[in-house]
Structure 1
Amino acid sequence: MKDLLRILVSPVVWLASFSAIYALHGLICQLDPGASEPFGVSLSRITLIAAFVLAVLVQAGLLALLYSLRFGAAPGFARSVSRMSGWVGLVATLWTLFPTLAVSSCGW
């Protein structure tokens, strides 16, 4: 059962972070489409960037745990699949959440 958790943790965390960040994006666009701009960057943009960085750091931390001797799976199939799944979670986080950094916030 623990091996199944190791295999699924990264994709589940990606799913949760994807949903949370795009919900945050919708909430920001509805409530405050860039009213305050310290340092020439809107507070909305700073919040989305911070959420993106946090999601990437969580995925990187999970990947590090999957490679550790203490928390990683025993050698064999489960170890390989859990590590691959960890990489998939990290790459999916970077790929799908990058638009929060690259495109305009609310399409105004």
Structure 2
Amino acid sequence: MTDILRLSLPLSVWIAAFSAVYGLEGIVCSDHWAAAGLSLGQGRAALLVAWAAAIAVQVVLLAGLRMPRFASSLPGVQRIAAILAAVALVATVWSLLPVAATSLCL
């Protein structure tokens, strides 16, 4: 794994998950969701699954970056990559928390 990928992947996954989850919320709140015969309860479940999946991916990235197999030869890069992965995990939980904690389609 190259150092650039090691440093950029966790935050890139966070922004992709952010976009995907809130895009899904837009679809759930649109008329297309109801037209497909799906309820808001099913939409809430889909959003919670997407949120949990995003968190799981971030946890796997954090654990993977700390494994010796994916370690950088530069100790500074290894430390920064682990810090960025932890920040991305916290950002994923925090920025997608409204999906689980607030009502849909206000």
Name the TM-score, length of structure 1 as normaliser. 0.88
* Partner residue in 2 for 1:11: 11
Distance 2:17 2:74 in 1: 29
Distance 1:75 1:68 in 2: 14
- Greater helix content: 2
Tell me, which stretches of 5 or more residues in structure 2 are unaligned?
none
Distance 1:70 1:83 in 2: 14
Partner SS, residue 69 of structure 2: coil
* Aligned residue-pair number: 103
Distance 1:72 1:85 in 2: 14
1:28 counterpart = 2:28: yes
* Structure 1, 42-51 or 28-37: larger mean CA deviation: 28-37
1:12-91 equivalences in 2 (<5 Å): 12-30=12-30, 31-32=32-33, 36=39, 42-91=41-90
Return the letter of the residue paired with 1:32: W
Tell me, which stretches of 5 or more residues in structure 1 are unaligned?
none
Distance 1:2 1:43 in 2: 40
Partner SS, residue 104 of structure 1: coil
Identity %: 38
Name the TM-score, length of structure 2 as normaliser. 0.90
Return the letter of the residue paired with 2:80: V
* Partner residue in 1 for 2:102: 103
